[in-house]
A and B are shown apart, each in its own frame.
Chain A
Amino acid sequence: MKINFHTFLKQFMLSAAIVGAMTACNKDVPDATPIEQQAPTTNVTIGDLVNTDASFSLLRTAINRVPGLLALLSDKESVYTVFAPDDAAFQRSGINAAVINALPVEQIAAIMQYHIVGGQKVTSTMITTNFPNVQLPTQLVLAPPSIPLPPGLRMPVFPSRRGNNGWINNIPLTAVDIQAANGVIHKVAAIIAPPQQVLWVRISTDPELDYLEAAIKRADQATPSPGLEAALKNPAASLTVFAPNDAAFQQVLTGQITLALMGMGVPAAQAQAQAQALASTPDVFTNPALAGVLTPTVVQGLVVYHLLGARTFSVNLPTTATAIPTLLNLGIQNHPGVTVQATFGPTGVTAATVKGAANQTASVVQINPTTAPGGTSDQHYVNGVLHVINQVLLPQ
């Protein structure tokens, strides 16, 4: 009996084992499969390109002065769009190796960082218009100027495109879409100087813009908070200021006050003399005698007519006369705005005009894109662009 039992048990074990062998292959729940990241078409990083391209020798020098920057651009995992000045661009901006080596590290770092947009591979096809331009934050995190900056404010660059021509701010792109494993490079014609101050600093310090400063202060009596001055000081704002110079203000004020006086019965000659005297100083805006004429509301309307809600470099202006809205349109929605037009020469904008709705003629932008204090067009600030014009724009 005992043997029998063992035999049976053996048979059972055997059959269990046979069946077992057949089943040792159930598929358990498969693990979740990671999404394969797209392999870059090239292994050459931006850092490699900068290191190997002969035309980038000055850029290489500059980048090497900034600790860690080359490593950053060589990081295969990262993503950058770099607006790269080649040697010609450095020279065009008057910067040679000696200058680079002489600049403080912080300053060269700020300049370099301002040429780099992080996290996005912005190709030329992604920039489609000249107006408005696109605002892209760079690696440059501004040190707080006179007033605190919002956290994480990275000074943006403003690429734009017209046909086959591209710009970054008002600097032309000379070559685009140079692919790298970790991003894309566009060559620029000159160094893109990072702005350091806010518009208000220029307006309040430029001796040619005293009337504008006074007008803004007068306007802010209408709506003290948030006033225009505050806006022009706000580093997070992005504006365009068509800044009439003092002569322009004097001219228009004299004319307007003369008309006003004549309307009150003052003879023409006397009226003109009086008006000239009144308009001879920026205090005209706070002159009690004119308080009823140059009311804060009237001045506010006049000032905001000179402001655009977005940064417009001269290269962003259309080539045919085009009406664009100003900040006045925030209050008067169907106002025609100002009419702008630019003329392009072989090296960029040679002439630009802006015309108010009630002006007889167009104001001329004083083309001179050199840096402040001498420059009068494409003056780039943390919170906007300023162009000096020779007339006050009249909304009505």
Chain B
Amino acid sequence: MNNQPKWAMLIDTTKCVGCHSCRVACQNQNGLDVKESFNRIEEQEFGVFPDFNRRFTPAQCQHCDNPPCIRVCPTGASYKRSDGIVSIDTNKCIGCKYCMVACPYNARVINIKEGYIHKCGFCLELIEDGQAPACVSTCPMGVRVFGDINDPESVISKMLISKKTHRLGESLDTKPSIYYITRK
């Protein structure tokens, strides 16, 4: 067993109603500008009236184990932490935006005031304090489950075994740390 945590998230799109509470909770937690958001929700429609349904898919930095953003960073500002979080040393970031283009999930955002790049960091300051990220704790539908996948007893580890999950853009071999449950 590995004592080092490996943080991951499971997003159950069958529970998401597209309310955007996660987005604004995140903006407040991270002190973001109105136009800066680390979360977005993609809406899709299926079927023909009256046999119809919609799906809301929340998306953000996928904290890839094989992150394309890091490979293109010329200064080493983007880096992978040993706990799985893809982080940005804003001290080293020169705002070149190569990473924004490289990210297949469109997850990186320019800090409007200062010019550096930032994105979802799994609310490190909260998880270090033993709390869930802001987007997880605010969600009344329980769409998001967050936890340590190195701990076989964690809720997320058990759910990854019992539920059929997938990751976004699996063919790209990015190996995201965010897993999804999606009704076909």
Partners in one complex: no
